[in-house]
Structure 1
Amino acid sequence: MRQLADIELFLRQPACFQARSRDGSICRAGEHGIGEAVRYTGKAALPPELACFSAYHTFLEGYSFQRRRRQNFLSLEYVVSGEILLRCGGRAYAAEAGDLFLLRPGAENDWLHPEGSSCEKYGILMRGKWLNLLLERFRLDGVDFVPGAESGAVQSLFARVCRDLREEAAELLGGDAFAVLQMVRRFLDAAPPLPELDRAILDYFDCHFAEPFHPGEVAARFHMSEPTFRRRVVALTGRTPFQQAVRLRMLRAESLLAAGTLRIKEVAAECGYNSAYHFTNEFRRIYGVSPSQYRADHTVLNNSGEKTEEV
């Protein structure tokens, strides 16, 4: 894996086809090569908590480009051989054999395969109301890639997901998705730990995201200037300090809305917003739907088997 300086490379690419769906906006250009793609098409509903819904094994040859905006799923891309270029939010990388990438929900993600090269890769797409919560709990929310992942373990798990999708084994899909996240977490646990200061910064955001945020005061807490603190947070999370605080607020909002037990104004207050109107606008800007609509689509069933309603 190597980081690329030219992020504009992705923005200059053409996008000749565009599809808008519940998965967000996806633009494509060029050919995708050959390979196998499996998507769950069973009549039974996917488990709402967490599910793999698509997996693929492809051999890319020639130019291929995909641009994703406001995707509501997690895409894991594992490179078996060759190289592919990826943009994760504000950072760009060249992924090489053994690299496992996480293209996260809610971010702007692109991947590009240039002319004159070849690449073999696997992919898994997963979604569900537990996804963002698990990414946060596994500390994967700010992770772009896992370098040098164990090839045998990754390919075996991807092959199992493809098998379960082909067999329409809906009851297994949630377990497959959880196993993938656990595997990524294990790879990260084996890596060198974060420096104590970086861990302290991340812990601060985890504990104080719902409080009024003043970057200068937080920077001073860690004995840094505000510009230095900003660069440190961007390097750790791919987001500015304010964007990281908002991201954690939105993760908390998702879980509260899915639980369906609080009014919108109460969810707003729990997430640090004094105004339900401000919270609603922020949520709609990020997810493309209102908090009420999100809750209607994700509400957990109560013991009587009926959806909870706002009072």
Structure 2
Amino acid sequence: MVKPARQVHQIGVVLCRHHSLASVGLVFDTFRMANQLPGTHRFALSRISQDGQPVPHPDGLLAVDGGLADLARMALVVIPSLWAHGDAAVADQPLLIDALRALPPRVLVATMCTGAYLLAASGRLNQRRATTHWMLADGFHARFPEVQLQPAENLTHDGNFICSGGSLAAVDACLYVVQLMAGRDTARELARMLVTDVQRGPQALYAPPQGWRQHGDAEVRKLETYIADHHADSFTLDELAAQIHVSVRTLQRRFLAATGLTPIQYQQAVRIERGKDLLESDHLPVQEIAAQVGYQDRVAFGRLFKKVTGMTPAAYRQRQRRV
């Protein structure tokens, strides 16, 4: 019997001095582990730098296999996480950004966390859905307003561009690529070897609500504390405004500017966070948990919970028990 021909997928992993070695390592380990699975699909990885020379990284000199000319022959280009150095990497890698802009349409590009900065700087993400680490979403959106940023998502795929959230979401992106190239069964087997799921759910499961941001408005911080302490209660905007002696209109403007949320949205976010805590630690019925956080209507609580987290309260509880 003739053995099936082996399919080799060429993968170029971009390296620069700003990359997280943990993210780079996750990429290489995931695809190397995939190569241990039975089947015909194999992944050939190449390290690529802007000038084709070893990369002087803060953690040591990184060997490379080639330069930017090699990117066009790849089936997939991977850009690992840049920690919080996305802006610095963009300034440092103009030739790489040009090469990303010129990639043939057939080449997949996968970014890990802040690796999306380099792809966004090329303009290839304009008018496309993308994600990055939730904590850096505001800065990313300010720099690349034409990108349709989805910070609650752990993974996005728009056209030939795949983006993933926080650094450890590199595994999710690699599993997704394996599924695209080698099929779902192979991705499932690889996930089992990695002791993870093929898809771990939205980044919103791990990110605090949007309003959990630092700001300098002391009076809004006072209201945040009040809302957190009385999240299950009902109160009006007039009552909140009176606490800091401003009009309702001023309250709404200042609260939104400081937190990114309206006061009512902030209260909803606090309720959902408290609901998560109860679902993780208690065995109370969902109806009772909904009542404890301020919702007499279990359906309304469930609808809002799913909108924020991407899953129902029951599914969230089941998932946390598996973790």
* Structure-2-length-normalised TM-score: 0.44
Q: Larger Rg: 1 or 2? A: 2
The answer to which structure, 1 or 2, has the higher relative contact order (CA under 8 A, 6+ apart) is 1
The structure richer in helix per residue is 2
* Structure-1-length-normalised TM-score: 0.45
